[in-house]
Amino acid sequence: MSKRSGGRNKATPASILIGLIVLSVAWLLSPKKPAGTTPTSSPSHDSAATGRIPATSGDVARNESAPSPSASPRESSPPAAPSSGGSAPAAITIASWNIEWLGNPSQRSGEGKGVAQDPAELAEAIKRSEAAVVALQEISPTGTPDAGRNDEPRSRELDAVAAKLGGGWRYLLFPSRSGDQFTGFLYNSGIVSLVSDREGDSWRVPVPTRRSSQGSGLWVRPPTAVKFSAGAGKTDFVLIVVHMKADFDGDFSKNRDEEAKALAALLPDVRRVLKDDDVVILGDTNMTDDNEAAERTYESAGLKDLNIANTGTHWRGGGTDKIFVPQAQPEFAASSFRVINHDRVLGRGMSPAAYKRRFSDHYMVTTTVRVQDDDD
């Protein structure tokens, strides 16, 4: 083995000084993090941020098109649902929609005669409205009654709408005395829940069913009350869906006033039985103007008509669809009235005639309920 030709070079004071200067300059020029900081990752959005509610067991259908957890929130998403450990939305949208003879298109009139509504379009309209509860009118029972729920009536069309909506959308139907044109509620159980303060989920208000002074039947489509909650300890409210006597072959405003007086007289019973003062009446009142006696009857009972301006809710005009809210309850102090007409229903222009053909002769109407700590 040969020897190395030389040993290690000894460092001189000058070379040591130069090295220290180079290291100092490099340290001064290097980027630094403030003290106490840690690396961060890009934020993500959970289901509360997106307004989407994951499907749970027992739901009508799972929303396969729901955005991923990292998706950005959409303006058209409904309010986030209250969940265990989560917070309730600031307000809940409620709606009413007379969907002309849903399930029995042969009974529809004019442009809609014989045309079955498309469940996908109905679902899209409801999604765009951001409603968590929709009071329904003119629903024909077309499904097999649910024997497990006291032969509860069903609708194949609403089954399809609920499936298109996805998540926890469910519905209740209430029979009429004529056997057709049922009323009901379609609701998102991920945002609101049913409150059963008595046996069953609904209470048919015991209005008289005699004939009116005009000879026509009173409350052929009986008003039915359902109590909903925005979450534990939060706002709950009672909705009464109505479909009052129409001016078919005559002026039946006296009949409607007799219906209104019968229902108004029973509102104290509604509050007592369902244990809540937040009682709302909504639906197709068939009132032809804002000066009908029935209007004044509801107002005398402590209710406020949000459509007092008689904004058109029918494709040919007239504010027949109304929402009456309590005059003195803070949950409704900021409530306003919105009509989802032919221009708004799908977010793109549509003629009134096209709306009549594809949807109904009535527009959907909405308002909001403020969510707060429950006060009754």
Q: What is the pLDDT of residues 116-155, one digit of tens each?
A: 999 999 999 999 999 999 999 999 999 888 877 778 999 9
- Is 248's pLDDT higher than 70? yes
Query: What's residue 72's pLDDT?
Result: 29
Element (H, E) at 328: none
- Is 38's pLDDT higher than 60? no
Element (H, E) at 136: strand 133-139
Contacts of 139 (CB under 8 A, 6+ apart): 99, 102, 103, 155, 157, 158, 173, 181, 182, 183, 184
Output the CA angle 275-153-218, nearest 5 degrees: 65
Six-digit token pair at 361? Answer: 């002769």
Domain boundaries, the chain: 82-370
Element (H, E) at 352: helix 352-358
Burial class (CB in 10 A: 0-12, 13-18, 19+), 151: exposed
SS3 305: strand
Q: Which of 24-28, 82-86, 208-212, 325-329 has the lowest mean pLDDT?
A: 82-86
82-370 is classed CATH 2.70.98.40: no
> What's the predicted TM-score (pTM) here?
0.77
Q: Which of 64-78, 272-286, 322-336 has the lowest mean pLDDT?
A: 64-78
Residue % of the chain over a pLDDT of 70: 76
Average pLDDT, the chain: 82
